[in-house]
Chain A
């Protein structure tokens, strides 16, 4: 059984933050969702201090073997999340990790403190793909910002703190090293790659926000390389993700050094993808040969 920072899990497949709304899915699919819950731990959508409506549409755009999104982190804010969503997520049959994001250390600290003190939460993922309003810099793109944020948050909880790394940097390893120096327990990567598309009919940006983040199988080779780079730079456990759509893909991430593998965009194509991929991954292990499984999947 895999474990991450002392959390024992049934299998290595979890969800990427923001790619599964378990509350909505339970309304659509009923209790069958819980019987074959696709993930061994559930990562919430990113929670911010105040409620956010999210970006104006158009928010998504299909690309070759992937999609670009600029959803804009719609969420109920910390208080709304704790009051309304947390009790429902706590009833899921797997451990709960909550993703949080803020634009200054005071707000980040409040999020971590208030979320961590809830028994229902086993760990916190820090979404650092946001600007620090004081410096104007994207925290996760700067090793020094990342380390300073971790130093501020680390004393607030003993629960695992997982830093979600952005791929939009030349050297993700250096950011992971900084996260480790600041006291992070694990890193997860990759977040989406900065991308844009043009609506061929209008000639205007396809997304209302102008740009967004690319995900899906198109990014998988980049994600694999970033996992390898982080693995060689530091010893933190890694949650690897980026375009995983079958067991062979998941096996590649584990081979590259990931402890757990997250499924993101594939959830949109197959609501039960995590459950399926966990089974396929198990098969790769039994056979000890994931090329064989890749062929079987054809």
Chain B
């Protein structure tokens, strides 16, 4: 008699294995172009994990902003600087030994900590059907957008009466992040500018 596989667990193991394997591959390889490719695969698999956790909007944003934006930026950096000796820069053996010792200690600390909280062990399969009614999946895009605008539609009852008016939303961080992005874009454009005139002046002088 075969046990019906839990498909959520199956896809979790698939995406988790991909994400972890490519993350480790980023560390192990010394070729910068391959590192960029493995990073793309790892972050794409991470977006699959987000979808499995019920965060559809965050998973889509992971694909759009991270894989489609940030990593394209990184690949442009790789293409602009990957010349001759910079494509493959080997790390010395002593550095690897220290790094793997440190990472082993950190993993030995983090993984038992992850399994030490009983509430985090997952929903039992036998009781999943009984409580399936209160686990209706709402799409999160609308609720996230309202939260960014300052209205938390998911916890309208919990808010104390005198705080009604959007105090528990994320409007102020949203505005700060938007101004921060503008400043960062101006700063990046200023920093990455070619300073040909200064070097020419130095050569002439």
**Do A and B actually bind?**
no
Interface residues of A (CB under 8 A from B): none
Q: Which residues from chain B sit less than 8 Å from chain A, CB to CB? A: none
